[in-house]
Amino acid sequence: MKSLILTLICVFAIGYKASAQTPAADSLMAYAGTYSFESGSPVNKFTVTVEKSELYGEADGNGSNKLLKQAAADTFKSTSSYGSIITFVRDATTKAVTGFTLAVQGTELQAKREKP
């Protein structure tokens, strides 16, 4: 009986730990996608991906960089040499991510999410 109870506790603990980790990866998926900048921008496309529960961004196919969560909501800092700050924008009603602002070298660029 004791071994059955111990087994159930272990199964519950493992299941709880796995479910506790899932929302982080799921919430990062809200940012994943391809974003386009306005014509004439120094950056044309920016792709955001989730790999091993971490967010990555890649500008114009120039190699991906990890995006580190910052204290402000929906804000990340790129590990690129530019140290860009990316602040995602959400629709006021649906809360879906619709784009982002990229702050880099004293300039802010606006990107809109492309439809999948």
The two beta strands, 64-69 and 75-78, are antiparallel
CB 66 within 8 A of CB 37: no
The predicted pLDDT at position 26 comes to 73
Domains in the chain: ranges and CATH: 31-113 (2.40.128.50)
Distance separating alpha carbons of residues 35 and 81, to the nearest angstrom: 21
Residues 5-33 have pLDDT tens digits of 333 333 333 333 333 334 466 799 999 99
The predicted pLDDT at position 94 comes to 94
Handedness of CA 81, 90, 98, 107 (dihedral sign): negative
Give every CB contact of residue 34 below 8 A, 6+ residues apart in sequence. 45, 46, 47, 48, 113, 114
Residues 51-94 have pLDDT tens digits of 999 999 999 999 999 999 999 999 999 999 989 999 999 999 99
